[in-house]
Chains A and B, each alone.
With several copies, the nearest count.
Chain A
Amino acid sequence: MANKLYPDAKAALEGLLFDGMTIMSGGFGLCGIPEKLIAALRDAGVKGLTVISNNAGVDGFGLGQLLETRQIAKMISSYVGENKEFERQYLAGELQLEFNPQGTLAERIRAGGAGIPGFYTKTGVGTLVAEGKEHKDFATASGTETYILETGLIADVSIVKAWKADPYGNLIFRKTSRNFNPMMATAGKVTVVEVEELVPAGTFDPDHIHTPGVFVQRLFVGRDYEKRIEQRTVRQREPA
């Protein structure tokens, strides 16, 4: 078997990075982000990055770390609300920003990984998002409707966080930390994955695997996950 296992994030990114490259980074908010790989990108110092990620982290954590070091030239995201350094760089014209509706972003990544260069969607028709895009009418059950063309996205490297992996690179995600990770795993020319646990081959029920190993080129086990919570909401126990 071709070895996919690497000792750590730094080793797993060795030889893949170059200035001006495009990186997809999994996660929704701070949930399911590739903590270790983001930190390793910061340490590697690679610059001029285009980063495709639903959000941009928070000040000092997640992708916020790459904003502090000015390694990101452009973000393609759906929502970037939680980051003051982001706001400062954007308002100062230091950072390019392309907003995509969240579902369009998810589908563009899925399309990129699936060899689909373009698809039509109703999302954003009649809004700023539709400007400059091809419009096309399709017949539907409720009459003719107008759709816009959106294109597939791929990345030079995708960085992905999964829960568990086996040595073949088969991946399983946990609860809502799945989010953008499975599609990004399919849309990287090279996909590098960090997991909390490596299990022996044959451990997974083949019906439970979320991402087949064909999509994973490099893999390592991360230690001491921080997994920060953005909005800690709780309810009160009923008095006994």
Chain B
Amino acid sequence: MWTRDQQAARAAKELQDGFYVNLGIGMPTLVANFIPEGVDVTLQSENGMLGMGPFPFAGEEDPDLINAGKQTITELDRTSYFSSADSFAMIRGGHIDLSILGAMEVADNGDIANWMIPGKMVKGMGGAMDLVAGVKKIIVLMEHNAKDGSAKFKTACTLPLTGKGVVDMVISELAVLARPAKGAPFRLIELAPGIDLDMLKARTEGHFEA
């Protein structure tokens, strides 16, 4: 079984040199800590920045310089700023290579639900629907099971969708499931140490090819 850091490091292996990448809030932000040696990626922040740098040193925070999680950040020698319309034109137009997002549920047809639970206060989808619809490749980083033990990789999402048929890869603490193209079935790509196929199947609802 992978720790959260190991899960993020596994996701970081999907980064390719020259990729433009958008990382979602939460566990996906950890991926930035594990970018492989010799792989140069440029991080996009959908509030209007390409080339996101690390957090600032204490005392050097700039309120005019935040990421989409509203965290203070810094710029790099490659950074450019632009409006929200230009930022989502970049996303919607398919110019971002990869987005790594969290999810509450993923279905084996690639549907993803990560923005609302009916009956609870809904905070809004932010940029998640735009990202899953527009970015070339979508990787979901999530825990394999919900707190009640139910599988999060399902035959069908029960929660309202964020996007239909959009997920390319799921990385949980147990395994990597992926498919070569939208519309294709998911396959088991890799098992975490100490996990075997039966264990994985017992904790999974959605279909995948072994």
Contact = CB atoms under 8 A, between A and B. Distances in A.
Contact of B83 (A31, A90, A168, A183): A183
A123 B129 contact: yes
B7 interface: no
Interface residues on A, range: 35 or more
Contacts of A213: 42, 50, 78, 80
Interface in A93-143: 99, 101-104, 106-107, 109-110, 112-116, 121-129
Given A206-B80, A235-B56, A102 B123 contact: no
Contacts, number: 237
B190 interface: no
Interface residues of B, number: 72
Interface string A142-175: 0000000000000000000001001010100111
A178 B48 contact: yes
A54 B42 CA distance: 25
A111 to B, nearest CB: 9
Given A28-B47, A122-B134, A123-B134, A103 B88 contact: yes
Top 5 A-B pairs, shortest CB-CB distance: A2-B18, A103-B88, A126-B164, A103-B130, A202-B77
Given A175-B65, A233-B55, 5 more contacts: A2-B18, A30-B63, A210-B83, A214-B20, A229-B61
Interface of B: 17-18, 20, 40, 42, 44-51, 54-58, 60-73, 75, 77-85, 87-96, 111, 116, 121-130, 133-134, 160-165
